[in-house]
Amino acid sequence: MTQFVIDEQGNRTAVLMDIQQYNELIEAIEELDDIHSFDEALASTEKPVPLDHALSEIEKRRPK
């Protein structure tokens, strides 16, 4: 069951929901974000970088 917190003017300011419903909502948002990132990667004209090369570059730039 979803409940709303309202202010003095009756405007909804927050939502209270079941933790399971919240977790499902977060999972759905993360999945949509993954799909969006995948679609962006497919549409990109950039040349792909091999994973081992990318990881090597990340390690070089990581503060020590």
pLDDT tens digits, residue range 49-64?
899 999 999 999 988 7
CA distances from 19 to 15, 45, 50 (A): 12, 41, 40
What mean pLDDT comes out for the span 39-53? Answer: 91
Number of residues in the chain: 64
Q: What domain range is 40 assigned to?
A: 3-61
Please report the pLDDT score of residue 59 as a whole number. Answer: 93
Total number of domains in the chain: 1
Please report the pLDDT score of residue 34 as a whole number. Answer: 96
Flag whether the pTM goes above 0.75. no
Closest residue by Cα to residue 50 from 42, 39, 58, 62: 58
Please report the pLDDT score of residue 1 as a whole number. Answer: 80
CA distances from 52 to 5, 39, 49, 62 (A): 49, 23, 8, 15
